[in-house]
Structure 1
C-alpha cells in the first residue's frame, strides 16, 4: 500500500470512528461504570504501528497447550 493510499484509508477510518465514537464510549462506560475520556485512547497510527510490529515478530514456543473446554480459557 502506498503512502497516499494509507493516508486516504486512515482519513476514512478516522471519519468512521468519529461517527461511532459516542456509541463506543457509551459501551465502554456501561462495561466499566467509569467515565470515558477520549484523550486516553491510542491514535489509529499508533495502533497500526503496534499491529505491524507484532506481525513482524516470530514467536517460537515449544510448549504445547491443550484446551479441553472454553472454560479453561476463562479461568
Structure 2
C-alpha cells in the first residue's frame, strides 16, 4: 500500500467566496507516503494506522485561502491494483 496527499485546485476562476459553482481538480502531490507491506489473511480484517510528519508541507485553511487536500491510497493484491 502506498499513498499521496494532493492539493485541490479551484478551477472556477472566480473569488472563493462568491463562486457558487464548485469546480475542483487534484493538483500536485504535497506529501507522498512510503510503500508499506501489510499481510491480511483471507477472511480476516486488519486495522491500519497511517501517520506522517506534515511540517510545513500543507497550508492552513482560511476563508480567504481555502486550502483543501485529499488522500489517495493504492492497495495491491499480489502486485495487482
User: Is TM > 0.5 for Structure 1 vs Structure 2?
Assistant: no
Q: Structure with the greater relative contact order (CA < 8 A, sep ≥ 6): 1 or 2?
A: 2
Q: Which has the higher helix share?
A: 1
Name whichever structure is richer in strand by fraction. Answer: 2
How does the TM-score come out when normalised to structure 1?
0.22
